[in-house]
Structure 1
Amino acid sequence: MVAFLTRRLLASLLVLLIASYIVYVLTCFSGNPLQDLLESNARNKEQLIAQRVQYLHLDISPFLRYFLWLGGILSAFTGHFTLGDSISGQPVTAQLGTAAMSTLHLVLTATIVAIIFGVLIGITTALRQYSSYDYGATLLSFLFFSLPSFWLAVMLKQYIAIGFNNFLGDPVIATTTIIVLAVISGLVWLAIIGGTLRRRLIVFAVSAVATGAVLAALSLTQWFAYPKLGVVVITLMGVGSAFLVTALSAGLENRKALYSSLVVVVIGAVLYYPLQYVFEYMNLWIMVVLGLAAVAVGIVVGLLFRGNDKWVSARGAAITAAVMGLLMMVDRYMQVWNDYMNASSISGRPIATIGASTPGLSGDFWVTGVDQFTHYLLPTIALMLISLASYSRYARASMLDVMNQDYIRTARSKGLTERTVVMRHAFRNALIPIVTIITLDFGALIGGAIVTENVFSIQGMGNLFQQAINQTDVNTVMGVFLVTGIAAIVFNVIADVVYSSLDPRIRVSA
């Protein structure tokens, strides 16, 4: 496996080298990097032109200038790595660092959410083929997939940002709105659960009443102005996640796995108030340490319960611990929401429509996190909806193909439960083609989402690349190309590793 991956890396680097040469030469001949200065009326125009020619080496042929750019990369072995200067005289590495962080904030969240919900919807629609749920999900998938990203972004600005900000001025939900949303919720859950007419009516009634009650409570308590989960809600949601994780991974009949997950929920509830003091000093590294500690506690608890398969219990408990930790983080972010809304630079309109942060806003780790959330919310939703549509279709098609295989019929004929057949035999094999799509998409998105970044004025990789193309800024174009190319190589290698872990039959030897 190591020898195979080494060969793949070397071959990919050779392709990247050849492609970079072609892109460099073509970019050089695509325009004149001195055009803005030639059209300038500045008195020192000739001096500025000579200065740019000097630091961009424009007096050297593009066919040879490439090797100067490549030499700056290879000088990393001597500790002097450089990608050259941009057309404005700034180091390209500094521009790439800022743009890459903005793009990662945007792409990482959107892609992860799209993968989770896209695969979930695709798998469940495949299991409920030709049901009303399947038809509804298919309709929405094609709808979101066909929507132009710029139009979707504008609609999100209008109805999510402006509309929700206006609602926060008086966060009371009208009775008519509660009734409509309750009916919609009932219809959605009715389609998802399915079953006999009696079962559908019960599901509709329960979900509609529950939704209406929750919305009414949120309206009466002014929850949107002062949001908070609290230890009781977190515990109840943790218990629900424990049952769900156990049902999917081990089955509820595996009591040891269920008890280990529930114990983790109890531990999280007990630590809720002590952690509030730790959260006062929170930073990125403390958050990482706490996340790893939560997973470690879950694994230890699962191993202590042992059972028929102690690692199944450990895995379920670790996932439940991660969910509890995430819920506590969300609760802590909610606690600073009111302070954030009342900040002078926010003025009671927290959902932003442009930019990646609020100028002049000062605050701790939590306030900064809320500010990033409000700025990246709309572009993340725009990217997520479009990606989710394609992932759900790929997942559905892959799952349908796997469910018709002979080994699935053999597993059922052996008397295995449907959960075991779906989760252990079908689900893992259905993920193999999806991994290819996900890794390629994620590697490509590192290069930036040009339309979305432009609409929301986010200075990411896509925006940087477009500006560089317009100005014939060769070094910046090559910097974005290099980052995107390396990302594509890395994620292709990751895909190869994931293949072998998903399907034991896939083993690559030297």
Structure 2
Amino acid sequence: MFKFVMKRIGISALILFLASVLVYVLTINSGDPLADLRESNDTNRQNRMDQRTEQMRLNDPWFVRYWDWLRGILGCFRLQCDFGQNRSGQDVNQLLGNAAESTIRLVLLATILGIVLGVFFGVMAAIRQYSGFDYSVTMLAFVFYSLPSFVFAILLKEFGAIRFNNWLAAPTFNTVFIVVFSLLFALFVQAIIAGTAKKRLIAGSASFLISIGIFQILAVTNWISDPIAGLWIEVTTGIAAAILFTSLLVGLQNRRGLMVTLGSAATMIVVVIAMGGILKDPSWIGLFVVLLVGVAIAVGLAQFFGGYAKKGVMWASVWTVVSIWIATIVDYLARHWTDYIELVRGRPISTIGSMSPNFRAADDFWLNLMDTSTHLILPTLSLTLMSVASYTRYTRSSMLEVLGQDYVRTARAKGLPELTVMSRHAFRNALLPITTIVAFDFASLIGGAVITEKVFGWKGMGELFETALKNVDPDPVMAFFLVTGGIAVLMNMFADILYAYIDPRIRR
């Protein structure tokens, strides 16, 4: 395994080096870095041209300039990275740090959501092959996959921000909208539920009535304008998550496992109450301490009381704790929603930038998190839906191929429960090709975020790359390449290593 890993690292380093040479040569030959000064009527034009020529070392051979840039990058091995300077003399290290922080925050969230939702819908579509649910998911996947990112982003700005903010001024629910939405939700739920037509009809009808009831509660309590926050969010989430994850990972017939998972949920809620002082004005470290305490207790309970299915109970408990932790964040954000609405003058969903100008002056963790989150919603949704489309298509295809294999039929013939057949035999093997897609998708999302950032006015990697390329400025372009290209190579190398770990035959 060590030899295999070292070989992959060597190949990855060689690919990155050759690609960097190609990108550098293409960048410096993509235009004239003095074009704007040549067209200037300034009497000091020649002096400014000479200064820029000296600053960018335009009289030096390209390989000398490239070598100096490479020496600065190799300093990263000594923790002294030097990405050079742009044509104005600004340090690219600082420019890259600010740009990468915004872009990676956006892309990382979109990738996680894309994987979770895409794999889920792909698996469910494969299990319900040729059903209405399968046709609907496949159609939507093709639509989102084919729709240009800038078109989708503009539609989100119009309907997800401008019109939605207008609606928030006087939020009311139209009867037709409630009925149509509830009907679509009921069709979605009954399509996921396995079993007889009677069972699906009951599930769909219950979902329809629950959806209408929720809309009525929202209308009566004016929850959209003034959310009713409180511990009920964590309690409801904990019960629902415990039942959901126990049914998926252990099976509800395992009463002991369900009780342990519910016990973990109750313990996590107690932890949230006990650490209420920290949560009033926390830091990210404090939030993760709360999460780690809950996870540690959940793992301990599963190990001591999990019974014969300790591993499944442990994961069900851990995911339940994580769900309650997320619900806690939602709870505290809801408590600050009214204050945030006032600060942004009734228009919380932003269309421009990654944060509100001068908003950071408000020294409140939850208000700052609210501001960051509302700015993330639309660009993240734009990238996520395109990513979900690709994951859904590949996961469905991979699951269908695996479900036709002999070992799956053998597992069913042995009388194993369908949940065990799907999770332990089919799903695990279907994940092999998805591993490669994740590696490519994360890198391509960073490149694709250039367009999304342009539409939403984000000061990220996209703007850094676009400005530098327009100015024929190689150092910022190479910084963009090093981040995106490095992530692409590293993720592919990680996929190769993970492949070899999952399937030992690949090592040979």
Return the TM-score normalized by structure 1.
Answer: 0.95
Paired with 1:310 and 1:78, the residues of 2 have a C-alpha distance of 45
Cα root mean square deviation, aligned: 1.9
Equivalent position of 1:68 in the other structure = 68
Equivalent position of 2:382 in the other structure = 382
Q: How many residues align?
A: 506
Instruction: After TM superposition, give the deviation of residue 226 of structure 1 in Å.
Output: 1.7
Amino acid paired to 1:496: D
Equivalent position of 2:465 in the other structure = 465
The range that moved more, 169-178 or 346-355, is: 169-178
The range that moved more, 118-127 or 221-230, is: 221-230
Paired with 1:161 and 1:442, the residues of 2 have a C-alpha distance of 26
Instruction: After TM superposition, give the deviation of residue 44 of structure 1 in Å.
Output: 2.8
Paired with 1:43 and 1:78, the residues of 2 have a C-alpha distance of 46
Paired with 1:327 and 1:41, the residues of 2 have a C-alpha distance of 61
Amino acid paired to 2:314: A
Percent of pairs identical after alignment? 42
Counterpart check, 1:266 vs 2:266:
yes
Equivalent position of 1:167 in the other structure = 167
The DSSP-based 3-state class of the residue aligned with 2:307 is coil
2:351–2:456 CA contact under 8 A, matched in 1 = yes
Equivalent position of 1:180 in the other structure = 180
User: Where does 1:5-84 land on structure 2 (aligned, <5 Å)?
Assistant: 5-77=5-77, 80-84=80-84
Instruction: After TM superposition, give the deviation of residue 29 of structure 1 in Å.
Output: 1.2
1:37–1:49 CA contact under 8 A, matched in 2 = yes
Instruction: After TM superposition, give the deviation of residue 210 of structure 1 in Å.
Output: 0.6
Instruction: After TM superposition, give the deviation of residue 284 of structure 1 in Å.
Output: 1.9
Equivalent position of 1:490 in the other structure = 490
Deviations 1:77-109 (A, max 9, x none): 556431111122211111111111111121111
Paired with 2:357 and 2:310, the residues of 1 have a C-alpha distance of 51
Instruction: After TM superposition, give the deviation of residue 507 of structure 1 in Å.
Output: 6.2
1:440–1:491 CA contact under 8 A, matched in 2 = yes
User: Where does 1:144-293 land on structure 2 (aligned, <5 Å)?
Assistant: 144-193=144-193, 196-293=196-293
Deviations 1:214-253 (A, max 9, x none): 0110111011112245222321221121121112112223
Instruction: After TM superposition, give the deviation of residue 160 of structure 1 in Å.
Output: 1.2
Amino acid paired to 2:348: P
Paired with 2:59 and 2:198, the residues of 1 have a C-alpha distance of 81
Deviations 1:3-25 (A, max 9, x none): 32122112211121122112111
Instruction: After TM superposition, give the deviation of residue 141 of structure 1 in Å.
Output: 1.1
Paired with 1:486 and 1:110, the residues of 2 have a C-alpha distance of 19
Report runs of 4+ in structure 1 exceeding 4 Å deviation: 77-80, 194-197, 504-507
Instruction: After TM superposition, give the deviation of residue 74 of structure 1 in Å.
Output: 2.3
Paired with 1:494 and 1:157, the residues of 2 have a C-alpha distance of 36
Deviations 1:369-421 (A, max 9, x none): 11111111111111111111111010000000000001101111111111100
C-alpha spacing 1:172/1:274, structure 2 compared with 1 (3 Å):
farther
Equivalent position of 1:477 in the other structure = 477
2:267–2:294 CA contact under 8 A, matched in 1 = no
Equivalent position of 2:346 in the other structure = 348
C-alpha spacing 1:105/1:76, structure 2 compared with 1 (3 Å):
closer
The DSSP-based 3-state class of the residue aligned with 2:82 is coil
Paired with 1:102 and 1:434, the residues of 2 have a C-alpha distance of 27
Paired with 2:226 and 2:290, the residues of 1 have a C-alpha distance of 26
Return the TM-score normalized by structure 2.
Answer: 0.95
Deviations 1:126-149 (A, max 9, x none): 001001111111111111112121
C-alpha spacing 1:254/1:85, structure 2 compared with 1 (3 Å):
same
Instruction: After TM superposition, give the deviation of residue 201 of structure 1 in Å.
Output: 3.4
Paired with 1:41 and 1:301, the residues of 2 have a C-alpha distance of 76
List gaps (5 residues or longer) in structure 2. none
C-alpha spacing 1:76/1:496, structure 2 compared with 1 (3 Å):
closer
